[in-house]
Amino acid sequence: MKEPDPIVFVIDDEALIRDGIGSLIRSIGLRAVTFASPSEFMQSKRTDAPGCLVLDVRMPGQSGLDLQRQLSDAGVHIPIIFITGHADIPMTVRAMKDGAMEFLTKPVRSQDLLDAVQKAIEHDRTLRKQRAELAEIRTRFDLLTPRETDVLTLVVAGLLNKQIADQLGTSELTVKTHRAHVMEKTKADSLAQLVRMAERLKTSLQK
């Protein structure tokens, strides 16, 4: 499956600035889409592609920081590069804590911005890949029956078939059958891979 081209979203209330930044980004061969306000961005239909957001902090109405919160609450994961006229420390801290990739001050040095954009897109690619893998694992694990899930839990905990059979009050042969189904459904090549997948799922659920 070929990955769609990355897109950079630029949100700034200042037309000259967003057009300039958009133009700069297009000049290195990336797609850029510009918006005059966060609400305009939220209302737009976005294609599923790796990308990042170049966001002005200070805008009339909804600020960039507000949009960051809103996106995070809505479960939209997209790396954000903030640009601002003057950055005070509390503002920067809040933005970075909420997962901003980069905080640049206006006027922005083009190389800094392009580097940040590249880095953010790369980051998004990785995240997207991880999210995709995790989603895949989850679909596979969802196929398991409750009994198979029980067996899986004990297998991952490091118990032998015999011990599992004892705990579940069943025969070792039955456990072996369940275990084979688990390996088949999760497409695990080895016990080690099964354990890794189970761990990843567990950490993602804990998050």
The binding site for other proteins (CB under 8 A) comprises 14, 16-17, 19-21, 23-24, 26-28, 58, 60, 85-86, 106-108, 110
* C-beta of 40 vs 66, nearer to other proteins: 66
- Rounded to 10 deg, the angle between the 172-185 and 161-168 helix axes is 110
The CA distance from 99 to 97, in Å, is: 5
* C-beta of 56 vs 148, nearer to other proteins: 56
* C-beta of 23 vs 126, nearer to other proteins: 23
Strand pairing category for 51-56 and 80-84: parallel
State the minimum distance, in angstroms, from the CB of residue 55 to other proteins: 14
State the minimum distance, in angstroms, from the CB of residue 2 to other proteins: 25
Residue 34 backbone dihedrals phi, psi, to 5 degrees: -110, 150
* C-beta of 28 vs 96, nearer to other proteins: 28
State the minimum distance, in angstroms, from the CB of residue 122 to other proteins: 20
State the minimum distance, in angstroms, from the CB of residue 20 to other proteins: 3
* C-beta of 88 vs 189, nearer to other proteins: 88
State the minimum distance, in angstroms, from the CB of residue 87 to other proteins: 12
Neighbours of 102 (CB within 10 A): 20
C-beta of residue 24 within 8 angstroms of C-beta of residue 114 = yes
Neighbours of 111 (CB within 10 A): 8
Exposed/middle/buried for residue 70 (C-beta within 10 Å: 0-12, 13-18, 19+): middle
- The candidate with the shortest Cα–Cα distance to 203, out of 151, 130, 121, is 130
State the minimum distance, in angstroms, from the CB of residue 27 to other proteins: 4
The CA distance from 189 to 66, in Å, is: 46
* C-beta of 60 vs 169, nearer to other proteins: 60
